[in-house]
Amino acid sequence: MLGSFGSSSSSHEEEEEHRRRHQIPPPPIHMRQLLISCAELVSRSDLSAAHRLISILLSNSSPYGDATERLVHQFTKALTLRLNRFSGGGGGVSAASTAVDDAVIQSSFLSLNQITPFIRFSQLTANQAILEAIEGQPAIHILDFDIMHGVQWPPLMQAVAERFPPPTLRITGTGSDLDILRRTGDRLAKFAHSLGLRFQFHPLIVQSSDESISVTSSVAILPHETLAVNCVHFLHRLLSDRDRLHLFLHRIKSMSPRIVAIAEREANHNHPVFQHRFVEALDHYAAVFDSLEATLPPASRERLAVEQIWFGREISDIVASEGGDRRERHERFRSWEMVLRSAGFGNVALSPFALSQAKLLLRLHYPSEGYQLHILSNSFFLGWQNQPLFSVSSWR
């Protein structure tokens, strides 16, 4: 349920003063309402009242507290960035974002991949959809948008190498850093060699949405190759321009891929109204932080890094950025379904074996009853408790 925007700043301050005098910790629902009220004040440019609420929120939150305190801390930092940016207070968001070293960001991503099932679930399910689509094909070409470290591909390569006769495999990986792409290609090539798999890797630099579109015409698909396209946690980056997104999808469709694997957040962080986007993000990340609280020890350094660096950057982007500066433009599966169908794609059902693999992943590596898998419209949804957080689907 969305909280009301109606509470006044003065009543919140009086209530907080009473709590401080009597040392009463604020309940989570109260902190949530304070955040929502603060977001309303920031959006109205009520600077003095917003600053007072931010002080209250900071004094009642901590990056080292429980899940609610940590969540409130990250959202309060993001509101402070927005307040500074749009009130002329200096210290823009872009400067704050780039202050984090790329190596630290990449390290936090690898920790995210280890301590949460979100990325592994997406990649495992996408891999299974690709493997089933390319069954019996002698030459496979995978076009992977934003391959990063390529951690998705070794399990697929191993499965491909076990087929008889083993097919050839070529991966074209896009990214913004040529050095990272080359290192990724070298690691994958060495792994392929250890399997006896005939393998090639082609790096493609992509710095912008427009370059993502141009890549589709520069990738050479050989006549005997079967193409699979991997868009795991990628398409939302194109949502800043619907026309470009539609053009990208039409270009992909024209390449006649055997399968297009897609994974996205199950959240609407692309709402044009800031307050709606704020509440949606608050609910989404509350479930994420709750899952980390339930599955990791209190002093986990990996969790701290993931929350502050990886999710912290996402929250700051959703809350404090506007226009072309905002990257995290997630939308729900129903929205993606309409976009993909309008580009001529049809949904391909994920198999029962893919479902059993996803369940096994959760049972073996993330044994908590809080994680839940659901099937809807031939697609899989991973959530925490009753809150869907990620979707995976395949298209042709």
Q: Do the beta carbons of residue 173 and residue 201 sit within 8 Å? A: yes
> Are 124 and 113 spatial neighbours (Cβ–Cβ below 8 Å)?
no
Is residue 311 included in any domain, yes or no? yes
If one counts the domains in the chain, the total is 2
Residue 106 lies in a domain: no
Q: What is the pLDDT of residue 98?
A: 42
- Measured distance CA(392)–CA(374) in Å, rounded: 11
The pLDDT score that the predictor gives to residue 15 is 57
- What residue has token string 């990724």? 184
Asked whether residue 381 falls in the same domain as residue 263, the answer is yes
Q: Do 205 and 178 contact (CB within 8 A), yes or no?
A: yes
- Whether residue 373 lies inside any domain: the answer is yes
With respect to residue 104, please indicate whether it lies within any of the assigned structural domains.
no
- Claim to verify: residue 35 and residue 178 sit in the same structural domain: no
Which of these three, 306, 325, 344, is where a domain ends?
A: 325
| Listed residues 325, 340, 355: the one ending a domain | 325
Beta strands in the chain (DSSP E): 139-144, 168-175, 199-205, 226-232, 259-265, 347-348, 371-376, 379-384, 387-395
Is residue 48 one of the residues assigned to a domain?
yes
In angstroms, the CA 209 to CA 237 distance is 7
Q: Looking at the structure, do residues 130 and 223 belong to the same domain, yes or no?
A: yes
pLDDT tens, position by position, 332-383: 999 999 999 999 999 999 999 999 999 999 999 888 889 999 999 999 999 9
What are 264's two structure tokens?
């996205």
Annotate 128-190 with DSSP letters as a single string.
HHHHHHTTT-SEEEEEETT-TT-TTHHHHHHHHHTSSSPPEEEEEEEES-HHHHHHHHHHHHH
Within the chain, how many helices (H) and strands (E) appear?
16, 9
Residues 273, 255 share a domain:
no
The pLDDT assigned to 252 comes to 97
Pair 130, 122: CB distance under 8 Å: no
Statement to judge: residues 132 and 192 lie in one domain: yes
Q: What is the pLDDT of residue 96?
A: 41
Structure confidence at residue 103 (pLDDT)? 81
Low-confidence stretches of the chain (pLDDT < 70) are 1-28, 88-100
337 and 375 in one domain? yes
| Co-location of 120 and 33 in the same domain | no
| Domain-embedded: residue 51 | yes
Q: Considering the domain boundaries, does residue 88 fall inside one?
A: yes
Whether the Cβ atoms of residue 168 and residue 222 lie closer than 8 Å to each other: no
Radius of gyration (Cα) for the chain, nearest Å? 22
Question: Which pLDDT value is given to residue 208?
Answer: 84
- Quick one: 345 and 387 in the same domain? yes
In this structure, what CATH number is given to the domain that contains residue 149? Answer: 3.40.50.150
Q: Based on the domain organization, do 166 and 238 belong to the same domain?
A: yes
Q: Phi, psi at residue 32, to the nearest 5°?
A: -60, -45
284: domain range?
A: 9-99+268-325
Within 10 angstroms of residue 281's Cβ, the number of other Cβ atoms is: 24
- The whole-number pLDDT of residue 24 equals 46
Residues 309 and 335 in one domain: no
Tokens of 222: 């050989």
Are 395 and 259 spatial neighbours (Cβ–Cβ below 8 Å)? yes
Among the candidates 305, 325, 345, a domain finishes at 325
Q: Is residue 182 part of a domain?
A: yes
Same domain, 120 and 181: yes
Cα(310)–Cα(331) distance, integer angstroms: 19
pLDDT tens-digit readout, 309-325:
999 999 999 999 998 88
**Same-domain check for residues 155 and 241:** yes
